[in-house]
Structure 1
């Protein structure tokens, strides 16, 4: 299948990890992810209904290999000073924002300028986006995942 790009906007909150957890819940409950066991290309006897919990989703060996092609494939937000980890979200640093968009106070208008900061499969990024008055308004999560 190959990797898939994904992106989401959520209301701003200071705790990026909590925002990611809430986004996980929303995406899982909405079924807004790839469920490898539900793929129409599978023989009927290999298909399974969607899991009822995230633990059930990740207990499936096929999902562990293929991922969900969504934000569910990243599990926590790192600190800015940490080396990037597989299956984690790394916040955009002030230096990266300045270099990519010319400002530290990113807005939705800057999203095209920062999207290339998520280059590698199985890594996510996030950025706080501001309103026209410079106040934090939302968080943008994006990345690539899936096999």
Structure 2
């Protein structure tokens, strides 16, 4: 199947990990993800209902291999001194934003240029986006995951 790109805008909150966990919960509850065991590739009689919890979802070996092709494939936001690895999201640092886009306070208008930020499969990125007065307004999560 290959990886899928995904992106989400959420209201700003200072705790990026709390914002991620809230987003994951909302995406799971909405069923807005690829459910490998309910896919059209299986005969209808073999399709399984969606899991009732994130824990149940991730206990499935096929999900662990194929992912959900959504933010559900990301479990935590790494800290400034941590090295991002599989199933994490790395925040854009102000210095990185200044070096690549010329501004330490990103806005939605910068979004079209976010491809300049290094990323890899199964590792997402996030950026705090500001309003015209420079106040934090929302958080943008993006990445690609799944197999």
Q: TM-score, normalised by structure 2?
A: 0.96
CA distance in 2, matches of 1:118, 1:71: 18
- Once the two structures are TM-superposed, the CA of residue 68 in structure 1 deviates from its matched residue by 0.2
Q: Which residue of 1 aligns with 2:5?
A: 5
Could you say what secondary structure the match of 1:106 adopts? Answer: coil
Q: Which residue of 2 aligns with 1:67?
A: 67
Runs of 4+ in 1 over 4 A off after TM superposition: none
Q: Which residue of 2 aligns with 1:145?
A: 145
Q: Which residue of 2 aligns with 1:103?
A: 103
Could you say what secondary structure the match of 1:132 adopts? Answer: coil
- Once the two structures are TM-superposed, the CA of residue 111 in structure 1 deviates from its matched residue by 1.0
C-alpha spacing 1:26/1:89, structure 2 compared with 1 (3 Å): same
- Once the two structures are TM-superposed, the CA of residue 61 in structure 1 deviates from its matched residue by 0.9
Of residues 41-50 and 27-36 in structure 1, the stretch that sits farther from structure 2 once superposed is 41-50
CA distance in 1, matches of 2:111, 2:81: 22
Could you say what secondary structure the match of 2:48 adopts? Answer: coil
- Once the two structures are TM-superposed, the CA of residue 118 in structure 1 deviates from its matched residue by 5.0
Q: Which residue of 2 aligns with 1:21?
A: 21
Report if aligned partners of 2:129, 2:137 keep a CA contact under 8 Å in 1.
Answer: yes
Unaligned ranges ≥5, structure 1: none
Report if aligned partners of 2:97, 2:104 keep a CA contact under 8 Å in 1.
Answer: yes
CA distance in 1, matches of 2:120, 2:29: 27
CA distance in 2, matches of 1:62, 1:9: 28
Q: CA RMSD in A?
A: 1.1
Of residues 47-56 and 77-86 in structure 1, the stretch that sits farther from structure 2 once superposed is 77-86
Q: Which residue of 1 aligns with 2:50?
A: 50
CA distance in 1, matches of 2:73, 2:116: 19
- Once the two structures are TM-superposed, the CA of residue 40 in structure 1 deviates from its matched residue by 0.9
Unaligned ranges ≥5, structure 2: none
